[in-house]
Amino acid sequence: MTTVIAVAGKGGVGKTTCSALLLRALAASGIRPLLAVDADPNANLHLLLALGLPEALGTLREELFTGPPGAVPLTERLSSEVQMRVAEGDAADLVVMGRGEGPGCYCYVNNLLRQSLARLMGGYRAVVVDNEAGMEHLSRRNLLRIDHLVLVGDPSPRGLSAAAALRDLARQLALPVGNSWLLLNRPYAGRTLAEPDVPGLPLLAALPHDSRLPAWEAEGRSFLDLPPGMSPAADAVADAVRGTIGRAAS
């Protein structure tokens, strides 16, 4: 069964970095094949995976909604188009959602796209979804279920409050979430982090200050290729995943 991990948080907390590190941790635990879903309209997860930017799935709405009818049923056309927009990697593949729908009623096409995405995800051991800021993508119910909701926040009072607010919003939206986690990122250099007290949000990991990650990104290298012992932040995520999410996904 596919394990679905959704990464969310307010803007600027490092959701994309954490998504790439979660993919690395899953791959290191032997959980493959993996699918990365970039659900941020400003897509850049491909840069951390050293993959080309595939054509966004979101453009299929307009193409299928406004294009001429074809001999092939719409469901089959959509499934084929989704498969063709997968960027394949050694350890993880990638799809990009792109921008939200424009004016017009796309309910039918959105439903078909949701079904096609679910079928695609079913071919992978685990899926990591890098969301835009907030819960907008998740609120559209593009994911039929979420096994692990990872809320990324910084260790400041405002950061913890924002993570708690997103947890509450997920409950209000009645999202199909199994487990929710807090992942602390962007700690202050030299500061020791105390165990945060956010009810309903157990701590997955607290990432230490890590200057190696920006250097690795600047070199254009995939975060999946970070060797053990090079990046304290990557190793912290790997250790956390090994004992929680990775164990359940194995």
d(CA 48, CA 126) in angstroms, rounded, equals 18
pLDDT beyond 60 at 84: yes
Comparing 10-14, 118-122, 243-247, the range with the smallest average pLDDT is 243-247
For 51-80, how does the pLDDT look when each residue is reduced to its tens digit (9 = 90+)? 999 998 888 766 766 656 666 677 787 888
81 pLDDT band, cuts 50/70/90, is: confident
Residue 70 is predicted with a pLDDT of 60
Residue 63 is predicted with a pLDDT of 72
pLDDT beyond 90 at 97: no
State if pTM tops 0.85. yes
For 11-27, how does the pLDDT look when each residue is reduced to its tens digit (9 = 90+)? 889 999 999 999 999 99
Q: Per the structure block, which two tokens stand in for 48?
A: 């951390």
3-state secondary structure the chain: CCEEEEEECCCCCCHHHHHHHHHHHHHHCCCCCEEEEEECCCCCHHHHCCCCCCCCCCHHHHHHHHCCCCCCCHHHHHHHHHHHCCECCCCEEEEECCCCCCCCCCHHHHHHHHHHHHHHHCCCCEEEEEECCCCHHHHCCCCCCEEEEEEEECCCHHHHHHHHHHHHHHHHCCCCEEEEEEEECCCCCCCCCCCCCCCCCCEEEECCCCCHHHHHHHCCCCHHHCCCCCCHHHHHHHHHHHHCHHHHHC
- What is the pLDDT averaged over residues 218-239? 96
Query: What integer best gives the mean pLDDT of the chain?
Result: 86
Structural domain tally of the chain? 1
Residue 227 is predicted with a pLDDT of 96
Angle at 246 between CA 224 and CA 239, to 5 degrees: 70
**Region of residue 95 (left: phi > 0; alpha: psi -120 to 50; beta: else):** beta
Beta bridge partners of 182: 151, 203
Residue 194 is predicted with a pLDDT of 57
Q: What is the CB neighbour count within 10 angstroms for residue 29?
A: 17
For 149-196, how does the pLDDT look when each residue is reduced to its tens digit (9 = 90+)? 999 998 888 888 889 999 998 888 888 899 999 999 876 555 555 567
Q: What is the CATH number of the domain that holds 135?
A: 3.40.50.300
Residue 187 is predicted with a pLDDT of 65
Residue 106 is predicted with a pLDDT of 47
Residue type, 110: N
Residue 198 is predicted with a pLDDT of 81
Residue 48 is predicted with a pLDDT of 98
Instruction: Determine the structural domain holding residue 146 and report its residue range.
Output: 3-249
248 pLDDT band, cuts 50/70/90, is: low
pLDDT beyond 50 at 230: yes
Rounded to 5 degrees, φ, ψ at 47 are: -65, -35
